[in-house]
Structure 1
Amino acid sequence: MLFLLLCITVAGSAIRRDVDIMEANKGVEGLVEGDIRMTDEQLQNLNGNRVKRQIIRYGTWTGGVVNYYFEDAFSQAKRDLMKYALEHISNRTCVKFVESSTERNRIKFVSKGGGCSSFVGMVGGEQELFLDDECQMMGIFVHEVMHSLGVHHTMSRDDRDEYVTVNFTLIPERYLHNMQIEYGTFNAVPYEYGSSMHYRGNSLGVGSLTAKQSRYQKTMGNMRVSFYDMVNINTLYSCSCAVNLDCKNGGYTNPSNCDKCVCPAGYAGRLCDEAPPGAHLYTATPNWTEDFIEFGYNDGSYTNTYLMAYAWISAPADKQIEVKIQQLVNVSCFDSCDDNGVEVKVDEDPRIVNPIYCCNTDTSMMQTVVLSKLNPTPIVMHQRRGKSGVTISYRYVDKPPVTTTTTTTTTTTKPPTQPTTTTTTKTTPPSAPTTKSPTTGQPETTCQCTEECHFTSTETETCQCITSTEETFENEECEKEAGTIHIGTECQANNTATCFD
């Protein structure tokens, strides 16, 4: 069994078991949303009315080039971890990081005095990004760097309340401002509980944030860097390749190396059509089959990166796979499954993080049958301390028959009325150039309106797609059927893209 791991031990200070941004930032003054620094102008707008909050501008880095340097006190081991985090981003996006202390616009990595905190986007001149010893986790490093690139918290999205309940009565008064919604931001990806940009359910107080899909409660705040985190950056910086590959399973052509795809967790190969190296491979039958998978390493010390392991369950094309997680061994039942956990990818979207199992006592998940919409079905395991195990059961079942719906239309004749003339004027925006989507590899048409549309992440308009039958779908509600589109960000060229206020 081949494990995928890069362990970086930070010398001179112990790696914490429980790494949490809000805990690390206790006592740090002047932060917004727990870890965001703001310029004086941004703070004035934030403290103003809703209209002012909507016009806060967060700059991106020109040409996707980010200059940075380390203060002298930044230890070599922490520099190594940060460079690993920067490489993780640059190897999957078109953003490049250049070490320079002389460029006009630059980030200064500061070792102490500011918790885990950053400005959002490029503010101009030198801007500080703080990473105290309590922040020593690769996912936290990426979290803060993503802020500096211009990415917001997941819980700040304007659709947040559709996915989580904020229990304001359980949040200390000094933290209430941390749950403000950033109105007018562009949601480039689906709402993802497992994004590294999402806080834990208990970050602002026990029970302060509740997932409306309860199976995701301990997925919130997990510090694995997600696939959609990278899609977010690529969308923000308009990363693309001249020619897109036929990436499978939700992968996208890598703008850092256009000859291969970037794959969601649980997939590998140049086109994302293979199991990860060393994955446990299973073939389902009609009968339940059980197996025990051990993952991790013998050393019981904590690391600041995750050791990843995988399994693949396959079935005939006309079948669906069912999976049960029977038992977890040496898996810590911590908030956000931070130490270790098991993710069974059953959602129709292979890119998104699914619920993570890490508690044997969670009766809503353990020994509960889940029906997968993916075949093969990947299982993703992560570990940052010692060796763990999981007992899985799996089988296949018949796919449900495809049903068709017949609609009967009844026409009622009304008596004639006073004749009227109705003129319908439809303004069609000028045709936009067709390009290739960096996330799907499919043709896309950018919306064009009298004002710049929402793709800049600063405007407040919403792009919608219209099918050939003139039925309107919000982007996130489009369906995977002929004649419609299914995508979270772009309007594809086989439909008509238009904009609405």
Structure 2
Amino acid sequence: MMHLNKYLTLILLYFVIDLHSIPILQSSDTVQTTSIYNPEQNEGLEGGDMVPQPFQKSLTDRGVAIKPASSNRWAGGVVPYEFASNITANNSAFIVAQMRAMENLTQVNNTQCISFRPRNASDLYFITIFNGSGCYSPVGSWGSYIGTRPVSLMHGTYSTCMVSGIVQHELTHVLGFYHEQSRPDRDSYVSIQWANIDPSQAFNFVKYNDSQVDVEMTSYDYGSVMHYEWNAFALNSSGPTIIPTQNTSAYIGQRIRLSPVDILAIQRYYGCVPTPNITTTTTSTTITTTLMSSTTTTTIISSTGNSSSVMSTTTTAATSNALKIGLAVGITVLVILIIVGAIIACIVIRKCRT
């Protein structure tokens, strides 16, 4: 019995030591939802992780247009980058791997749509990736501003940005994109639980309007890597701050990789695939003394989030053909009537003679 107790004690001690050897947070494709600190939620930054341009007080300054425009795109879809000295070799390799993943996901017909490359001495516009105090980045290229754009991807003892979806999230900001739940149409898809939001962070849930952002004609995407998680900036982290309404079982806030809709939005924003236009209808009518024709051409371009389709139909009604057919039928009927009349007349005349 004593030997049995001894063995049980040794086994228990082994498991205690083994549990202490497990790191608190590991680099993986999942985010620990029980973490008290979220490195994407940084006080003083718009949306918790977006850095304003040097001449802006915030991203929503009314004097500055923040709607993605050609001046906010990276020329040719190319983003030059450099690593600060406090980024380790392992972490820089992990970040570059996420860059390659984004390039592969967004390519069209085996041609890169966007790319990230090390900066060279002639680059005036570039990002500097460093181990800061959280996960945050600029939105877009910052136009003609000369110099570096800071991207913080921290890796600490208790929290890290070295998760595939977090790195891709911040790099998508760099490409020019905002948070999904800030879209002008978000109230049709989610319900914001203002009562559970930290009042000092409520500004992070303000919607942009149509003059500020461009949704790139993609549908609202619960699965976007740019969407907040369900309890972002919560007073009570066990309760939600965002509730999906159209799909109540939808999971929001994934940090695995770009969603199909994220990919399509990037491709459209950088001109790698066409951006759909609204439905257009053109009708023309020509009338002459000998011909009447009506031609209607309708082109419909539709988008369903991660796909688009084009349907074109042309209908031509040549009323001259109908007139010809009607005339032929009329003549035929007239001839038949004449023949029938002649036969009847002949019968009547014969009866009269008899």
More helix by share: 2
CA distance in structure 1 between the partners assigned to 2:36 and 2:170 by the alignment: 10
CA distance in structure 1 between the partners assigned to 2:58 and 2:254 by the alignment: 32
Say whether residues 1:202 and 2:234 are aligned partners: no
Say whether residues 1:223 and 2:223 are aligned partners: no
Aligned length: 249
* Aligned residues of 1:100 and 1:106 also touching (Cα < 8 A): yes
Unmatched tracts of structure 2, length 5 or more:
1-22, 108-112, 284-297, 315-354
**Partner residue in 2 for 1:116:** 135
CA distance in structure 1 between the partners assigned to 2:311 and 2:52 by the alignment: 39
Q: Deviations over 1:126-156 (max 9, x none)?
A: 1010011221210110000000000111111
TM-score (norm: length of structure 1): 0.45
* Aligned residues of 1:465 and 1:491 also touching (Cα < 8 A): no
Candidates 468, 487, 500, aligned match of 2:303: 487
User: What SS does the aligned partner of 2:248 have?
Assistant: helix
Say whether residues 1:104 and 2:124 are aligned partners: yes
CA distance in structure 2 between the partners assigned to 1:228 and 1:170 by the alignment: 29
The residue identity in structure 1 corresponding to 2:26 is: I
Over aligned residue pairs, what C-alpha RMSD do you find? 3.2
User: What SS does the aligned partner of 2:57 have?
Assistant: helix
CA distance in structure 1 between the partners assigned to 2:312 and 2:161 by the alignment: 46
User: What SS does the aligned partner of 2:129 have?
Assistant: strand
CA distance in structure 1 between the partners assigned to 2:114 and 2:170 by the alignment: 15
* Aligned residues of 1:22 and 1:34 also touching (Cα < 8 A): no
Candidates 211, 214, 217, aligned match of 2:244: 211
CA distance in structure 1 between the partners assigned to 2:165 and 2:172 by the alignment: 10
Q: Aligned-pair distance for 1:488?
A: 4.7
* Aligned residues of 2:68 and 2:214 also touching (Cα < 8 A): no
Say whether residues 1:68 and 2:88 are aligned partners: no
Label 1:465 to 1:203 Cα distance change in 2 as closer, same or farther (>3 A): same
**Partner residue in 2 for 1:239:** 272
Q: Deviations over 1:62-95 (max 9, x none)?
A: 1111100111111122112111110111122311
User: What SS does the aligned partner of 1:66 have?
Assistant: strand
CA distance in structure 1 between the partners assigned to 2:36 and 2:215 by the alignment: 23
**Partner residue in 2 for 1:139:** 165
CA distance in structure 1 between the partners assigned to 2:309 and 2:182 by the alignment: 24
CA distance in structure 2 between the partners assigned to 1:154 and 1:135 by the alignment: 20
Unmatched tracts of structure 1, length 5 or more:
1-11, 241-436, 439-443, 445-462, 470-481, 497-501
Q: Percent identity?
A: 25
Label 1:192 to 1:57 Cα distance change in 2 as closer, same or farther (>3 A): closer
**Partner residue in 2 for 1:397:** none
Say whether residues 1:465 and 2:245 are aligned partners: no
Candidates 26, 43, 61, aligned match of 1:15: 26
Q: Aligned-pair distance for 1:175?
A: 1.0
Q: Aligned-pair distance for 1:491?
A: 8.5
CA distance in structure 2 between the partners assigned to 1:39 and 1:86 by the alignment: 23
Candidates 206, 214, 217, aligned match of 1:186: 214
Give the structure with higher Rg (CA). 2
Q: Aligned-pair distance for 1:41?
A: 3.5
More strand by share: 1
The residue identity in structure 2 corresponding to 1:136 is: M
* Aligned residues of 1:164 and 1:211 also touching (Cα < 8 A): yes
